[in-house]
Structure 1
Amino acid sequence: MPTVIGREKLISRASRAETPHTMFATLATELRRAVPYDAAVWRATDPETGMITSPILAENIEDHSCAVYWQYELFTEKINLFRDLAQAPVPVASLWESTGGEPSRSSLYRGFLAPRGVHDELRAVLRVDGRPHGYVSLFRAEGGATFSTVERRFIEGLVKPMARKLRSYAKQLPEPSADGLIGTGLLLFDAGGALISANDDARRYLEEMPEGPTSVTALGIRIPLWVHGTAMRARAIAEEHGRDTARIRMRSRTGRWLVCHASCLREADGRLGVSAVIIERAPVSDVTPLIVQAYELSERELEVTQLVARGLSTGRISEELHLSPHTVRDHIKAIFEKLGVSSRGELVGKLFTEYYEPLAPGSTGRQ
């Protein structure tokens, strides 16, 4: 039986994990004792776009099935969509409960879950401060009980602390690297989602990807689900004529920040054609918001930080924000404490340099 004490122990153990992948693995091991399940997928997400990114941990489910599952999420499913749960008052729901005991109303159930012997699915969005940092799917096989209200509420209690922990990993510095990988990777996917072309830079970036579910292609290249998902999302946006962006930030095996974005092209007659996916080094403007969120700066502290980065004095900042100089100094002091720095130069270096460009081997740090 799930208990509050059991949940607190689970949170404590998972919070000691050194990497997001290890956190997912710890959660999986500990959670099975309180809320038994037969298979699961744990995914990190980009907090701005809500799209899946690295890492992803799949339990008792084949790699290629993860991509098929996500196709239903993007193109046909209408029940318990992750993007809807991310905005819902309670970001946790079970398929059985949401369909009133009629899971066949779900296209995912009919085409994916039922053929694999899955009876019920419990979904959760790991969310903090209104932003999704992870998606969880728990599956139960036929013959077992459906997920109960007590179990759903137990999972609800994990949402915020585990999202906060996922967010905090952005503070980890990349490993020093001198490989000079700075090109633009390009991959092309056909209308069916199959990879049809990739340049050399894309192949090199893919070699840097962390472990996780992948799809094997006819080109002999393994495509991580988060990259493939970006291509699928671009096509879904084009089909809906939406204005969303198929874009994620992700980290390589060495912790280097990369950005992956995609767009679906159209033929001369207006039909949708190939999807082009680009992978490249993430610009500092993409990395800094994640670092700021990881250190849990308030909106006001973020405003002050941005003005400090522009080189404004305390007096100028007080004028810009209509605050007293004393209040500005208090904000700066709080910012220094959160980031563990002691000067404005150190603050700017930490947010706008260290996480973006790793120190070269043999470097002794800032001068």
Structure 2
Amino acid sequence: MTSAQPTRVDTGRTELLSRAARSTDPLAMFAETSHHLRRLMPYDAAVWRVTDPQTGMMAAPIRAENLDEKGCAVYWECELFTENVNLYRDLAQAERPVAGLREATGDLPARSSLFQAFMKPRGLQDELRAVLRVGGRPHGHISLFRAKGRPAFGPAETKLIESLITPLARKLRSFAGTVPQSLPDTPHGPGLLLFDATGTLLSANDDALAHLEDLPEGPAVRAASGLEVPAWIQSTALKARAIAQERDRGHARVRVRARSGRWLVCHASCLREADGSLGPSAVVIEPAKTSEVVPLIVDAYELTERETEVTQCIARGLSTGQIAQELHLSPHTVRDYVKAVFEKVGVSSRGELVGKLFTEYYAPRAEPGIVRVHDS
């Protein structure tokens, strides 16, 4: 009995994943994936996004294809304030984190506020969206659009996207472990931006302007001042307002990797006026603390929960015997875990492990805060 020959889709999927696996950064992976995916299932526009795995919020970088930049605010206003079909936060928890708009609405897309406000004015008739997740955490979003006159995304195409979710998410997760060649010695302080209820930028301080220059390229909204505001920052401001209005839950907080290689954290809250009404949304961008980035880096090396605990003990300087006592393990078992961690991270000593996971991203930043005294 002869085995079934691989189909065109099978062959194309294999090639797609092979190219994605060799990508050196998220944007390159998005470009390769989209290029090969279009050959397997045509679409007219797309958005590929990195997300913060802790909050699920859109981060950076982002690749937008055949879409105007003016629609970013409209898209996220629908997602956060009015939409109730295929929400990303729901898909992230769903058994199958992929869904088509026309399929979900019984081929009545006008039931969707996203369709009415964003898609229809742009001649788009269907959206297939997916959350790229692995280990129960979202690492990216995909939005594929088809124009009016095209057939709706079908079950076979949904199944194809579903088969790509885990390997693509795993690749996105791995990029957090990439060590930058160098980091600037003097990062800027907290940057502050104020946005009105529509997501329009009102003002920004000098530190915010400096941070914006270091952010990854991607869709942006031009403010009245001419400043280009990344779409994910605008969506963070809108998220804060949605939370304040009790239309959403969670935290308006996201971590991003700047072009310099340094990690930044962006968090927002909605201010209140003297009379108690909602005022502008304040967005703060600042260098991320080590504690906020280490989980991303550890996750990138696919360490298990126990391996992570052993690694944290090593970072504290505990010996094998002390680790065994604290974690209620035998010294032999601890040595096995240490060996497994070394192999995954690609190091050969405890010092090298601590350096790679905990200090390589932050040593330059810590230097200006050191007071050196030479007593005689």
TM-score in terms of structure 1 length = 0.95
* Alignment partner of 1:272 out of 267, 271, 278: 278
Pairing 1:154–2:174 present: no
Cα RMSD (Å): 1.6
C-alpha distance in structure 1 between counterparts of 2:203 and 2:53, whole Å: 29
2:3 is matched with which residue?
none
Which has the higher mean CA deviation after the structures are superposed, 305-314 or 154-163?
A: 305-314
Asked if residue 133 in structure 1 is aligned to residue 142 in structure 2, the reply is no
Task: Give the C-alpha shift of residue 121 in structure 1.
Answer: 0.5
CA distance in 1, matches of 2:274, 2:222: 31
1:94 maps to 100
State how 1:294-333 maps to structure 2 within 5 Å. 294-333=300-339
Residue 369 of structure 2 corresponds to which residue in structure 1? Answer: none
Q: How does 1:212-291 map to 2 (within 5 A)?
A: 212-240=218-246, 244-291=250-297
Distance 1:101 1:295 in 2: 42
Partner-residue secondary structure (3-state), 2:70: helix
Partner residue in 2 for 1:84: 90
Aligned partner (choices 51, 64, 78) of residue 70 of structure 2? 64
1:53 aligned to 2:59?
A: yes
Encode CA deviations 1:224-278: one digit per residue, 9 max, x unaligned: 0111111111111111176621111101112211111111111122211111111
User: Does 1:201 find its partner at 2:207?
Assistant: yes
Unaligned runs of 5+ in 1: 361-367
- Conserved in 2, the CA contact under 8 Å of 1:235 and 1:275? yes
Are the structure 2 counterparts of residues 122 and 274 from structure 1 closer, same or farther at C-alpha, using a change threshold of 3 Å? same
Give the whole-Å Cα distance in 2 for the aligned partners of 1:175 and 1:194: 36
- Taking a change above 3 Å as real, the CA distance of residues 358 and 21 of structure 1, as seen in their structure-2 partners, is farther
1:176, distance to aligned residue in structure 2 (A)? 1.6
Residue 170 in structure 1 maps to residue 176 in structure 2? yes
1:49 and 1:281 mapped to 2: Cα distance? 18
Kept in 2: contact 1:176–1:359 (CA 8 A)? no
Q: How many residues align?
A: 360
**What's the TM-score once normalised by structure 2's chain length?**
0.93
Question: How far apart in 1 are the matches of 2:34 and 2:247?
Answer: 38
Q: Counterpart amino acid of 1:62?
A: D
Answer with 265-274 or 148-157: which moved more: 265-274
The 3 A distance-change label for structure 1 pair 242 and 52 is: closer
Secondary structure, aligned partner of 1:233: helix
Instruction: Tell me the SS of whatever aligns to 1:296.
Output: coil
Identity of aligned residues (%): 63
Q: In the alignment, is the contact (CA less than 8 A) between 1:48 and 1:131 conserved in 2?
A: yes
Unaligned runs of at least 5 residues, structure 2:
1-6, 367-376
Equivalent pair of 1:54/1:210 in contact (CA under 8 Å): yes
